[in-house]
């Protein structure tokens, strides 16, 4: 995603010497609140709310231990925490991402500020237990905020483990994930038979199938929702290359295409948090601004869809 976005900025009219004036529509005239919007976690035993923009770590945090490799990510995390954001999503599938995340969060002294969400991604109960314990060591988190069954892999074997961890107070919330539209029905079926707290899946301005059933179902049944692939791995930036941000974006405190795409997602009432990934601090700051100020209403959402089409 970050590479595609970089290419977008480099080769489009937005980066032709007038980046700020083209990509930012009247930014100086928009006064956004200083606190990021939050959404409540419906299944929480006590009131619990999440800032609506988090971050993913796929590809971006899969780096080695050198300070040179990690320095840009440290800046990304500093901007992340300065905004009041909290949720960081990772997985054993993401190479060194868990280790990198755990080390850098500890280096910044931000463990108490972080909502750690990771995943179990293996087959068999024992393998799952071992993998979860490894994730906790890498993240330096004796208690996880959210553990998700990655891509529904062997979910029947792992659900009892997640329940046990919650009973032992080593886990706050449990969930499932996937990243394809074809798996939406499967996610719903699992949620119907198992009492889980979160569902993570794909949804964007270009891919809106989740609106038909999965998002409304989660909202009706008190399931918190994390959204992955918000930029379609950079494809959305390609679709608007060379185009100025529409002037009406100012009506919902939007100053860039990234915010345009993220605010569309966040304006759906079923969405709890969106988790774009980046290794560039400028992109992180831009993404985070989607969590501040107004969100589009129903009529504006229709207009945004037409804009992309």
Domains along the chain? 49-244+269-294 (3.20.20.100)
Q: How many CB atoms lie within 10 A of CB 16?
A: 11
Please report the pLDDT score of residue 178 as a whole number.
97
Closest among 203, 192, 188 to 275, alpha carbons compared: 203
3-state secondary structure the chain: CHHHHHHHHHHCHHHCCCHHHHHCCCHHHCCCCCCCCEEECCCCCCCCEEECECEECCCCCCCCCCHHHHHHHHHHHHHHHHCCCCEEECCHHHCCHHHHHHHHHHHHCCHHHCEEEEEECCCCHHHHHHHHHHHHHHHCCCCEEEEEEHHHCCHHHHHHHHHHHHHCCCEEEEEEECCCHHHHHHHHHHHHHCCCCEEEEECCCCCCHHHCCHHHHHHHCCCEEEEECCCHHHHHHHHCCCCCCCHHHHHHCCCCHHHHHHHHHHCCCCCCEECCCCCCHHHHHHHHHHHCCCCCCHHHHHHHHHHHC
Please report the pLDDT score of residue 34 as a whole number.
84
Convert 198-213 to b/e letters by CB count within 10 Å (16 or more is b): bbbbbbbbbbbebeee
Q: Is the dihedral of CA 179, 180, 183, 184 positive or negative?
A: positive
Please report the pLDDT score of residue 5 as a whole number.
58
Q: What pTM value is reported for the model?
A: 0.89
- Counting as low any pLDDT under 70, the low residues of the chain are 1-33
- Whether the CB-CB separation of 152 and 122 falls below 8 Å is answered with no
Bridge-based pairing state of the strands 198-202 and 224-228: parallel
Bridge-based pairing state of the strands 38-40 and 49-51: antiparallel
- The string of pLDDT tens digits covering residues 118-135 is 999 999 999 999 999 999
- The structure tokens listed for 208 are 């809106």
- Whether the CB-CB separation of 83 and 120 falls below 8 Å is answered with no
Q: Rounded to whole angstroms, how far apart are CA atoms 34 and 46?
A: 25
């Amino acid at each position: 995603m970050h590479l595609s976005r970089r290419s977008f900025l480099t080769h489009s009219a937005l980066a032709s010497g007038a980046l700020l004036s083209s990509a930012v529509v009247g930014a100086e005239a928009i006064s956004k609140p200083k606190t990021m919007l939050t959404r409540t976690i419906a299944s929480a035993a006590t009131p619990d709310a999440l800032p609506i923009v988090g971050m993913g770590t796929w590809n971006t945090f899969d780096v080695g231990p050198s300070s040179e490799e990690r320095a840009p990510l440290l800046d990304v995390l500093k901007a992340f925490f300065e905004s009041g954001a909290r949720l960081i999503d990772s997985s054993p599938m993401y190479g060194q991402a868990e280790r990198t995340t755990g080390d850098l969060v500890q280096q910044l002294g931000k463990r108490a500020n972080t909502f750690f969400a990771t995943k179990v991604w293996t087959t068999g109960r024992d393998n799952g237990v071992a993998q979860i314990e490894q994730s906790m060591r890498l993240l330096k988190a004796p208690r996880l905020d959210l553990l998700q069954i990655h891509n529904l892999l062997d979910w029947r074997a792992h659900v009892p483990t997640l329940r046990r961890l919650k009973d032992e107070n080593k886990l706050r919330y449990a969930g499932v994930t996937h990243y394809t539209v074809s798996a939406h029905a499967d996610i719903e079926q699992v949620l119907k038979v198992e009492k889980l707290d979160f569902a993570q899946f794909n949804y964007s301005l270009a891919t809106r199938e989740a609106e038909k059933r999965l998002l409304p179902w989660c909202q009706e049944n008190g399931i918190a929702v994390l959204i992955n692939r918000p930029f379609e791995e950079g494809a959305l930036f390609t679709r608007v290359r060379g185009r100025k941000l529409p002037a009406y974006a100012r009506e919902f405190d939007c100053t860039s295409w990234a915010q345009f795409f993220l605010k569309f997602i966040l304006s759906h009432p079923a969405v709890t948090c969106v988790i774009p990934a980046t290794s560039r601090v400028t992109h992180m700051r831009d993404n985070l601004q989607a969590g501040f100020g107004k969100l589009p209403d129903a009529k504006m959402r229709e207009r945004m869809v037409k804009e992309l089409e």
